Structure 1
Amino acid sequence: MQNTTQSLMINDQVSRWQVYTAQEALYSSAVKHIEEAARNAIAGHGKFSIVLAGGSTPKSIYQLLPKIDTDWSKWHVFYGDDRCLPPEHEERNSLMAHEAWLKHVAIPSSQIHDIPAERGPVEAAHAYNQTLAAVGEFDLVLLGLGEDGHTASLFPGHTWDDTQSAVPVFGAPKPPPERVSLTAARLSQSREVIFFVTGAGKQEAVDNWRRGEPIPASLIKPKNGVDVYIFGVNL
């Protein structure tokens, strides 16, 4: 059952904070949100583009998505980031999403756009920039929040070229050090953005964000603001 909802203006950015008393309620609400976003996008412009996050909470949500009522042939799947590891490595976001969800539904393979991170950060970022060159505004971006305030693979203390859609990441503070990430500017080019934030370890990052400190997550600024789904963190 949803506990509280708050809307805040932080550094000229609207954020809607939805706190859940049970993880299952967060998962259910997220699935409904995704299903509705897909329905509206397909009705409005004939397709649905979604950017996926890695992590345990997104995985639990992805496992529920095969049950929704949607036209899978209209879905186009992208990734916010991935690790520079072999495609079959268990820590690849693309493998997790495939095993939890994508292999169970009829999205055409040509519409699932993995980051070719196994090619190394520079070459993979270049390739993904080409993939995204013809892609306009996303319909929905899913993101997580790290204990240090990072999101996708945009880490505190790092800089990146926001004129690009995808950038190479070196020296990530958590392994593996080499990754590819969409930039804050490109992630902001979406009709909707949802952050999933679960666990007491995220408390400091949430507090910093709500105080207006410039953590990477706060740099995601879509025109319609962001939704933050929370469990296990106090507001």
Structure 2
Amino acid sequence: MIMAPPKIEAFASREALFDATASVLVAALNDAVAKRGHAGFAATGGTTPAPVYDRLATLTLPWDKVTVTLTDERFVPPSDASSNEGLVRRHLLVGAAAKAAFAPLYFDGADPEEAALKAQDGVAAALPFGVVLLGVGGDGHFASLFPGNPALEAGLDPKTARSVIAVPPGSPAPDLPRISLTFQALIQASLIVLLVTGQAKKALLEAPVDPGLPIAAILNQDRAPVRILWAE
């Protein structure tokens, strides 16, 4: 069955967007726990999702049955201000939510390729995901799968056996080495939620989406349903 392209669900304010996103995430995770006894959550980084994680951490969920991982990570330690793991630990894995298991993508002392290989076991424990939260870049990237990057083809390969890959720095992005889940891993999900703000990204995602953009792979696949939640 081919799914219709997802419609953009617009909210009147960012606060309303963050409230709605947290509600969608907790419902998907509770549903996964009810069906499978556990739930995996692939969390995105950046500044936009922090208020969502603040809300999600306060909601009722059997956190001890949840494994949290990341859609991608900058190759920096969790103590670095730009670390996605650090963000998730500060905003989500607090209070009752600290009972969740966490599967990191960064490992101290490993190079990016070693870290990507080492991360696969933890990610496998979270699969299939109850829900994946993704952001979208102005260039159409998702996770750390960037247009023009040497790792893009491997990251988008629907037949790859890899769930995690190393992404080298590139021009114009990314500026640092990164670790990213692959497209193939991310679509092993009951739901993919795109959290989007601003008119430019809304215009990028309004159908028809440029098939040359990495995000088109997410929007055009028929494995996992996609919801686009947006506010200005």
Size of the alignment, in residue pairs? 221
Q: 1:106: Cα distance to partner?
A: 4.2
Match of 1:176 in 2: 175
Judge conservation of contact 2:193–2:226 (CA < 8 Å) in 1: yes
Judge conservation of contact 1:51–1:140 (CA < 8 Å) in 2: yes
Q: Distance in 2 between matches of 1:214 and 1:199?
A: 21
Match of 2:33 in 1: 42
The 3 A distance-change label for structure 1 pair 107 and 160 is: farther
Q: Distance in 1 between matches of 2:34 and 2:165?
A: 33
Judge conservation of contact 1:191–1:222 (CA < 8 Å) in 2: no
Which residue identity does 1:114 align to in structure 2? P
Judge conservation of contact 2:112–2:179 (CA < 8 Å) in 1: yes
Deviations 1:139-196, CA, capped at 9 Å, x for gaps: 1000000010001100012324231111110124345320000111111111100001
The 3 A distance-change label for structure 1 pair 90 and 204 is: same
* Alignment partner of 1:76 out of 64, 67, 72: 67
User: Would you say 1:116 and 2:103 are equivalent positions?
Assistant: no
User: Would you say 1:130 and 2:130 are equivalent positions?
Assistant: no
Which of 118-127 and 172-181 deviates more?
172-181
Q: 1:134: Cα distance to partner?
A: 4.9
Judge conservation of contact 2:57–2:91 (CA < 8 Å) in 1: no
Which of 86-95 and 113-122 deviates more?
113-122
Q: Distance in 1 between matches of 2:75 and 2:225?
A: 31
TM-score with structure 2 setting the length: 0.86
* Alignment partner of 1:141 out of 132, 142, 145: 132
Q: Distance in 2 between matches of 1:16 and 1:224?
A: 15
Query: Structure 2: where are the runs of 5+ without partners?
Result: none
Match of 2:227 in 1: 227
Which residue identity does 2:182 align to in structure 1? T
RCO higher in structure (CA 8 A, sep ≥6): 2
Q: Map 1:1-235 onto structure 2 (within 5 A).
A: 14-108=5-99, 111-116=101-106, 118=108, 119-158=110-149, 159-161=152-154, 162=157, 163=160, 164-172=162-170, 173-207=172-206, 210-220=208-218, 221=221, 223-232=223-232
CA RMSD for the aligned pairs? Answer: 2.2
Q: 1:13: Cα distance to partner?
A: 5.6
Deviations 1:74-121, CA, capped at 9 Å, x for gaps: 111011100011221010000011111213334446x21111255332
Percent identical among aligned pairs is 29
Match of 1:4 in 2: none
Q: Tell me, what secondary structure is at the counterpart of 1:67? A: coil
Q: Tell me, what secondary structure is at the counterpart of 1:57? A: coil
